Amino acid sequence: MYRKIMQQLTDWKYDKYRKPLVLEGARQTGKTYILQQFGKEHYINVAYINMENASDELKQIFDGSISPKRIVQQLEIMFGFVIHPAETLLIFDEVQEIPRALTSLKYFDKIIIPN
């Protein structure tokens, strides 16, 4: 199913200076589905993290420093693959459930994405 948002997501992906994307909307409207579909179509890997059912291990990632480099290194260990900004889509679903995870997003905007 194609939606107009797919073009907006594609534009976001190719923006060299993109910032983290926060997709807001009513519950049960397909936000997670569309992001996962976008990830399958446009990325080599998708790292999907549901913060609503977060394990203690995941929560601990955000207890220390919230530098993107450290967070990504910890997520790489959890997922078992290297996370490349141009090749891996990170989806933090229900990110509001871990306030420090939400706060960490503002530091991810310092990453310049190579074309």
pLDDT digits (tens, 9 = 90+) for 42-91: 999 999 999 998 899 999 999 989 999 999 999 999 989 999 888 999 99
21 backbone φψ class: left, alpha, beta (φ>0; ψ -120 to 50): beta
Strand-pairing partners, residue 90, are 47
In a domain, 42, yes or no: yes
Q: What is the overall mean pLDDT for the chain?
A: 87
Residue 94, helix vs strand vs coil: coil
* Domains in the chain, number: 1
What's the alpha-carbon Rg for the chain, to the nearest Å?
14
pLDDT (0 to 100) of residue 110: 56
Q: Global pTM? A: 0.83
In a domain, 115, yes or no: no
In a domain, 54, yes or no: yes
CB half-sphere exposure, 56, CA atoms < 13 A? 0
In a domain, 99, yes or no: yes
Mean pLDDT of 6-23: 88
Domain enclosing residue 44, as ranges: 4-108
Cα 61 to Cα 54: distance, rounded to the nearest angstrom: 11
In a domain, 21, yes or no: yes
In a domain, 67, yes or no: yes
In a domain, 114, yes or no: no
In a domain, 113, yes or no: no
